[in-house]
Amino acid sequence: MSEKAPWITYRPELKVLDCTVRDGGLINAHRFSDDFVRAVYDACIAAGIDYMEIGYKNSKKTFPVERFGPWRHCDEADLQRVVGDHDAEATGLKLAAMADAGKSDWQTDIVPATESPLSVIRVAFYAHQVSEAVDMMRHAAELGYETTANLMAVSNITDVEIDTVLEAVADSPASTMVIVDSFGHLYREQVDRLYRTYAAALAGTGKEVGIHAHNNLQLAFANTIEAIILGCNRVDATMFGFGRGAGNCHTELLLGFLRNPKFDVRPIIEVIQHHILPLRQEIEWGPLLPYNITGQLNQHPRAAIEWREGPTPDDFLAFYDKVVSEI
Amino acid sequence: MSEKAPWITYRPELKVLDCTVRDGGLINAHRFSDDFVRAVYDACIAAGIDYMEIGYKNSKKTFPVERFGPWRHCDEADLQRVVGDHDAEATGLKLAAMADAGKSDWQTDIVPATESPLSVIRVAFYAHQVSEAVDMMRHAAELGYETTANLMAVSNITDVEIDTVLEAVADSPASTMVIVDSFGHLYREQVDRLYRTYAAALAGTGKEVGIHAHNNLQLAFANTIEAIILGCNRVDATMFGFGRGAGNCHTELLLGFLRNPKFDVRPIIEVIQHHILPLRQEIEWGPLLPYNITGQLNQHPRAAIEWREGPTPDDFLAFYDKVVSEI
């Protein structure tokens, strides 16, 4: 890679994960049509995306099928119906599902990898759940999956908690530890600090560092670029930034930035045009001012989401006064 | 300033310029009501903003008064009507106007600084206009103004052109040389490179480096942060990102990031609430997908603006195909 103008060259080992269906589904309880999921899947293959996260492997007790669509659970029958006999090698696309510590019946719901189109289980957890998370990764790894460790809400915990999690992950089968900015709070210097901490703790293990950014401060794409510059080789994005609240790093921006000629942004724009833009008629996401405020305050975007669903969604000043008065 | 967590400390010498009226006026030919301009002015003072750019000092021949509002020309009578006997010292706010090389009757239209509420003339120019720009800055400096050199469209010229401009500016009375990303094309590493080039060329002159970012790639705020981290002490922003095409770095995000206690974001949110949001009913701006495309291609956003005013503004795929087929 050129040192002179690194932004026009590329690292072949950098892999993109599109989590449009998994992360975006948090807005609509994962009630997507099969056509929608298939369109995203086809676009991922056509665009040269490396991983597609197609949903959650979460519990039907916590998320009953009456209220949540199939991509909250990723039953093998649902996967089979939409992606058929998915061939990761032939398509160049690996399918992933996320399992949340504390919300997944992972002991019973994950079948051996050879019986599933999925090849990756990403384990999402809060710091205090790290022991279950490591158990989940061990279990999934024994079943033949690649696994990743996604420590959520990292902007809200202490350095010593992060260090303890990293020690546990270093000894786990995880291929990747992901910097997850759940609240969209991180600035560039904080991303740097976290990247260096993660990379130092995992040095010698062969594990990669990933990034999953949220767009509360209009920094999801920028923070993803920053992590890439530092050496991050696993990056998450969603098409048109589709995702709860402020949304995510945009897949189409990311592919436009990456110079690996295997990537093609046109299929992404096509699926945005035909499948994502229509969703905007009924669903809102993006870095609106209330999300700017919760992001800068290092708060969960919950209050902003509720405000946008309330009686005066456009009264940003009242939202600001409410939030500031409560801290 | 702390080296450990520099994002929670501040540099007192860092100054913010709000160019909502000047840059935003490019959308509506500077036809703002006096109330609007006064509201922005009051908010700048209340928020602790250092400079407010209130419009252009441009030619009435090029921009006839029948078609352009008063803030394209900043006649002293118009300034007087809105800001009265503005007192820069008492308010902490300096007023600036921009003059474009090639489009300004600067020899006749700029009155002595002692007779105007303006204290800064920012000179905008393309590389080939640098000689006129230096003449303009000399003239304005002789009249008692602080001046700045704003080399536009820097992503579209060669390193040797940049070096030549910097040599000329180093010998000029300009207080500041601004990195102007007119096409919203720059990535973080390019901002770094330009900052270092500008700072090296101006070393020892006492001049500051500024940044004026556009949001085509959702990177205006991020690139502004980057420039600040590197040492940039003059930063431009507009309220709610108001500006032509993809818009600008958002003043409210920037003030939320800066830790100088003199800044207060609430007056900015207030003016957004009461004066900027109503404009959105009739005017569009922001980092829409067509601007992503022109930004990544290092093109003027003109084609994207025209597309959004055409018969199929939401057909992003057709816009992509059109633009790609034409390069």
Q: Could you read off the pLDDT tens digit of each residue along chain A, which spans 327 residues?
A: 678 899 999 999 999 999 999 999 999 999 999 999 999 999 999 999 999 999 999 999 999 999 999 999 999 999 999 998 899 999 999 999 999 999 999 999 999 999 999 999 999 999 999 999 999 999 999 999 999 999 999 999 999 999 999 999 999 999 999 999 999 999 999 999 999 999 999 999 999 999 999 999 999 999 999 999 999 999 999 999 999 999 999 999 999 999 999 999 999 999 999 999 999 999 999 999 999 999 999 999 999 999 999 999 999 999 999 999 998
Q: What is the pLDDT of residue A3?
A: 80
Task: Scan residues 120-159 of B and list those with Cβ closer than 8 Å to A.
Answer: none
Give one DSSP letter per residue of B81-120, joined into a string: HHH-S--HHHHS-EEEEEEETTT--HHHHPPPGGGSSEEE
ipTM: 0.96
Q: Which residues of B touch A279 (CB under 8 A)?
A: none
Q: What is the pLDDT of residue B224?
A: 98
Considering only CB atoms, A188 lies closest to which of B229, B266, B293, namely B229
Q: What is the pLDDT of residue B327?
A: 86
Task: Please list the rounded mean pLDDT of every run of 10 residues in chain B (327 residues).
Answer: 86 97 97 98 98 98 98 98 95 98 98 97 98 98 98 96 98 98 98 98 98 98 98 98 97 97 98 97 95 97 96 98 94
Domain that holds residue B319: 289-326
Q: Residues 6 or more apart from A282 whose CB is under 8 A from it?
A: none
Q: Are residues A193 and A300 in the same domain?
A: no
Q: Rounded to an integer, what distance in angstroms lies between the CA atom of residue B193 and that of residue B29?
A: 34
Q: Are residues B240 and B294 in the same domain?
A: no
Q: Rounded to an integer, what distance in angstroms lies between the CA atom of residue A283 and that of residue A11?
A: 36
Domain presence at residue A284: no
Domain presence at residue B5: no
Q: Which two tokens stand for residue B152?
A: 């536009």
Q: Are residues B269 and B214 in the same domain?
A: yes
Domain presence at residue A169: yes
Q: Which residues of A touch B195 (CB under 8 A)?
A: none
Report the CATH number at residue A264: 3.20.20.70
Pairwise CB contact (< 8 Å): B250 & A218: yes
The terminus-to-terminus CA distance of chain B in angstroms comes to 47
Q: Which two tokens stand for residue B92?
A: 């902490």
Question: How far is the alpha carbon of B257 from chain A, nearest alpha carbon, in Å?
Answer: 8
CB atoms within 10 A of CB A222: 28
Q: Which two tokens stand for residue B232?
A: 């940039």
Q: Which residues of A touch B288 (CB under 8 A)?
A: none
Which residue matches tokens 């820069």? B88
Q: Are residues B36 and B103 in the same domain?
A: yes
Domain presence at residue B297: yes
Q: Residues 6 or more apart from A193 whose CB is under 8 A from it?
A: none
Task: Scan residues 187-246 of A and list those with Cβ closer than 8 Å to B.
Answer: 187-190, 215, 217-223, 225-226, 229, 240
Considering only CB atoms, B253 lies closest to which of A218, A226, A265, namely A218
Q: Rounded to an integer, what distance in angstroms lies between the CA atom of residue B169 and that of residue B159?
A: 15
Report, in angstroms and rounded to the nearest whole number, the Rg of chain B calculated over CA atoms.
19
Domain presence at residue B104: yes
Q: What is the pLDDT of residue B3?
A: 80
Pairwise CB contact (< 8 Å): A7 & B316: no
Q: Are residues B52 and B184 in the same domain?
A: yes
Q: What is the pLDDT of residue B1?
A: 61
Q: What are phi and psi of A325, to 5 degrees?
A: -70, -20
B250 at the A interface (CB within 8 A)?
yes
Q: What is the pLDDT of residue A1?
A: 61
Which residue spans within B101-145 are E strands per DSSP?
118-125
Contact A79, A52 (CB under 8 A): no
Q: Are residues A318 and A262 in the same domain?
A: no
Domain presence at residue B284: no
Q: Residues A42, A43, A45, CA angle at the centre, nearest 5°?
A: 65
Domain presence at residue B4: no
Q: What is the pLDDT of residue A327?
A: 85
Domain presence at residue A317: yes
| Residue closest to A109 by CA, chosen among A145, A162, A149, A66 | A145
Question: How far is the alpha carbon of B256 from chain A, nearest alpha carbon, in Å?
Answer: 7
Q: What is the pLDDT of residue B85?
A: 86
Q: Give Cα A125 distance to the centre of its chain.
A: 13
Q: Are residues B265 and B322 in the same domain?
A: no
Which residue matches tokens 């009578």? B77
Q: Are residues B253 and B298 in the same domain?
A: no
Q: Are residues B166 and B311 in the same domain?
A: no
SS3 B176: strand
Q: Are residues B299 and B200 in the same domain?
A: no
Number of domains in chain B: 2
Interface test with B, best of A264, A273, A322 (most B CBs within 10 A): A273
Which residue matches tokens 């670029």? A225
Q: Are residues A300 and A218 in the same domain?
A: no
Pairwise CB contact (< 8 Å): B221 & A217: yes
SS3 A237: strand
Q: Are residues A274 and A303 in the same domain?
A: no
